[in-house]
Structure 1
């Protein structure tokens, strides 16, 4: 009888722990929280955007591919204003470069940075090694895709939001 109870208890623990959702950077994980200041110094948490599809976009003013991608992101953002948000995380270390790039491209979405470049704790949380890097999150902060760009990103967002 004791053996049976122990075995059942062990199996219960395995089953419940294997289905538990974890914070991480794999598809299906809950995206790690980010809480960084915007250009005005206001702290903006990634979790404050829950309720819409969110693209967490790691970028920098000096990153050519990042800048090249922005017109497509603006178009996607404007297409789904109430259903799709972008949370831009800049890897710039100089505020004038960061804010200048935002102004020049007229980026309408949330942009944050702690201006610490590769020393930010966010780097470790998201295992960032280079930019551009992004994570597409569902309305609950669950990672649906990572490092998805261009037409693939557009198609996935369209598929999620056009029913």
Structure 2
């Protein structure tokens, strides 16, 4: 095959990929697939020196059933907070791993899946994917957490230190995360 023929084939493949990314019906599934590949990587665990301490300020959240909770009531517990949205491809990509982790640790760890979306949208998403975790909507801004991009996930130990602070998709069901949780729960 000549160089010019290879070049034309490369150009055609490039144009097809661009078109697939431009078309809304194909863009989201492609983005989710790409992020699932990125979500194979475990998040980094902070050292004691790198961990930021939180102060458990009042932060009211309401779950999809209408129950209100206050973040400060979780002081002294291991807490995993995941800021996400149903329209966010990296959020969707990491959800299966978070669901598996939630299933195994829901009785030991406080899971706060936080979204600003309407309950109807969230409930439809949860039912469609058969997710069992509860989702919370903030009733006020989180005074201790500035969230500029999603997904953003924080793992907080019993002493109130942020052990993991990860923006972007990650493998939350990894052996590394499970070992970290097991150590925090001791």
Equivalent residues in 2 for 1:80-119 (5 A)? 80-92=105-117, 94-114=118-138
Do structure 1's residue 60 and structure 2's residue 92 form an aligned pair? no
Moved beyond 3 Å, runs of 4+: 47-52, 151-154
- Structure 2 runs not aligned, ≥5 long: 1-49
Displacement after TM superposition at 1:72 (Å): 0.5
Q: Aligned partners of 1:27, 1:153: CA distance in 2, in Å?
A: 21
Paired residue secondary structure (1:41): coil
Residue 69 of structure 1 pairs with residue 94 of structure 2: yes
Q: From 60, 64, 67, give the equivalent of 1:42.
A: 67
TM-score norm. by structure 2 comes to 0.59
- Per-residue deviation at 1:153? 6.1
CA contact 2:53–2:161 (8 Å) conserved in 1: yes
Comparing 55-64 and 36-45, the one that deviates more: 36-45
Structure 1, unaligned stretches of length 5 or more? 1-25
1:130: Cα distance to partner?
A: 1.3
CA RMSD of aligned residues (A): 2.8
Note if contact 2:94-2:172 (Cα within 8 Å) is conserved in structure 1: no
Structure 1 length as normaliser, TM-score? 0.66
- C-alpha displacement at 1:78, in angstroms? 1.8
Whether the aligned pair in 2 keeps the contact of 1:47 and 1:141 (CA below 8 Å) is: no
How far apart are the structure 2 equivalents of 1:99 and 1:57? 17
Residue 121 (structure 1) aligned to one of 131, 141, 146: 141
Per-residue deviation, residues 46-77 of structure 1 (Å, max 9, x unmatched): 34444542210000011111111111111112
Between the two proteins, the alignment pairs up a number of residues equal to 132
